[in-house]
Structure 1
Amino acid sequence: MPYEPPPELAALSLADIAAEVAARRLPPLDQWAPVETGESHMEIRADGRWFHEGGEITRPAMIRAFAGLLVRDGDGRHWLMTPHQRLAIAVADAAFIATDVVRRADGSGAGGLAFRLNTDDIVLAGPDHPLRAAGDAAVPALYLAVRHGCEARLNRSTYAQLADLALDEGDDWCVTSQGRRFSLVPA
């Protein structure tokens, strides 16, 4: 069956976004305890491109499938998980790249920030998916918690979109999503 990417964020309401997030069926990685450990010979470069043994993986459906098997442990190492083995994967910066963001309101006025990733995943920033500002004032970097310890780095255009949203909220360089406030300024 061919891969069908989700619709563009700009066309979706907050309820539509929540439905897209709920529809993404992921394996139960937190229930798996693989006994074998090995090397995947894969890498995710800082620009979000995936490689295996030096050759670029270009099929979006394949990247999306592998992305659903990613975890990052407490030491910061990334792994591809199966029920029987975990395979190390080299990640230059973050496992994902956030490529778009929209703000959507709900009936209560709380609303949220929805991010599209380079894997076509959609993530709603909030208590379960916080934003983190890193780097310094001269070279800031923003990251979004995705799942299983993995993060998405906001690309330049998404960072600019988020900065515009922060300016709409006030002059303190913060944004609010699902009742949680996030600073865009590195600590």
Structure 2
Amino acid sequence: MGENTDKSVSDAAGIAAAAGRAAKDGPPPVHLWDPPFCGDLDMEIRADGTWFHEGTPIGRPEMVRLFASILKREGDDYFLVTPVEKVGIRVVDAPFVAVDAEIGADVVFITNVGDRVSAGAEHAIEMRGTPQEPRPYVHIRRGLWALIDRKTFYRLADAAMPDENGRMELHSGGTVFPLEP
């Protein structure tokens, strides 16, 4: 991410207020916004999905959901974006965690910030890591992924069926997802 520009970096409260105004009529269209970069904000999303601001966990779930709604990824960098400004933040692994799933004919994931997505062509399940330490993820939106937590992955593994080669796979949304890296 870039260095601070001549403009002062907005504080989290200002970003949250702008996000709240932008989100009044549904999810903000961050993919359409291309405001100027205003510097980096001292904000980090840790590997367990906890959001920190200036080294302190953000304890209000509604504030985390608001920030998550304006999160944008460009390449390997993450930004909070409003119609008029863009600030960089750090993401340790994936910005979200899939904390539950409804497993039926399709698999519907629920994230730690309240997103619900049905696994399929637009919301792929991807295995990373090694066979000894698999790391499962699901695509949430516009290049933003959620790490699938352990208990949810175990439930997926229980629902999976072996393919003709014995590899475990899951079917959802007309798509087949291997559950091995």
1:154 equivalent to 2:155? Answer no
Indicate if the aligned counterparts of 1:71 and 1:147 stay in contact, CA closer than 8 A.
Answer: no
1:95 equivalent in structure 2: 95
Q: Which has the higher Rg, Structure 1 or Structure 2?
A: 2
Give the ranges of 4+ consecutive aligned residues of structure 1 lying more than 2 Å apart after TM superposition.
Answer: 167-172
Q: Is the 8 A contact 1:125 1:177 kept in 2?
A: yes
CA RMSD in angstroms comes to 1.7
1:80 — aligned with what? 80
1:7-38 CA distances to partner (integer Å, 9 max, x unpaired)?
xxxxxxxxxxxxxxxxx921011111112331
Unaligned runs of 5+ in 2: 1-24
The alignment covers a number of residue pairs equal to 156
Asked whether the 8 Å contact 2:108–2:118 carries over to 1, the reply is yes
Q: Which aligned pairs between 1:18-33 and structure 2 lie closer than 5 A?
A: 25-33=26-34
Cα displacement string for residues 98-152 of structure 1 (whole angstroms, at most 9, x for unaligned residues): 01112233xxxxxx11011011211111111101100010100011111121100
Does residue 137 (structure 1) correspond to residue 137 (structure 2)? The answer is: no
> Aligned equivalents of 2:155 and 2:162: distance in 1?
11
Aligned to 1:8: none
In structure 2, what is the Cα distance between the partners aligned to 1:131 and 1:84? 34
Query: For residues 40 and 164 of structure 1, what CA distance do their matches in structure 2 show?
Result: 41
**Residue of structure 1 equivalent to 2:70:** 69
Q: 2: distance between equivalents of 1:70 and 1:140?
A: 26
Task: Give the match for residue 16 of structure 2.
Answer: none
Q: TM-score, normalised by structure 2?
A: 0.81
- Report the residue type matching 1:123 in the other structure: V
TM superposition shift of 1:172: 2.5
Q: Which amino acid aligns with 2:51?
A: W
| Deviation larger for 170-179 or 88-97 | 170-179
Gaps of 5+ in 1: 1-23, 106-111
Other-structure match for 1:47: 48
Aligned counterpart in structure 1 of residue 159 of structure 2, from 160, 165, 168: 165
Structure 2 letter corresponding to 1:101: A
Report the secondary structure of 2:157's partner residue: helix
Which structure ranks higher in relative contact order (CA pairs < 8 Å, sequence separation ≥ 6)? Answer: 1
Distance 1:169 1:101, change over 3 A: farther
User: C-alpha separation between the residues in 2 aligned to 1:68 and 1:180?
Assistant: 27
Q: 1:124 aligned to 2:125? A: no
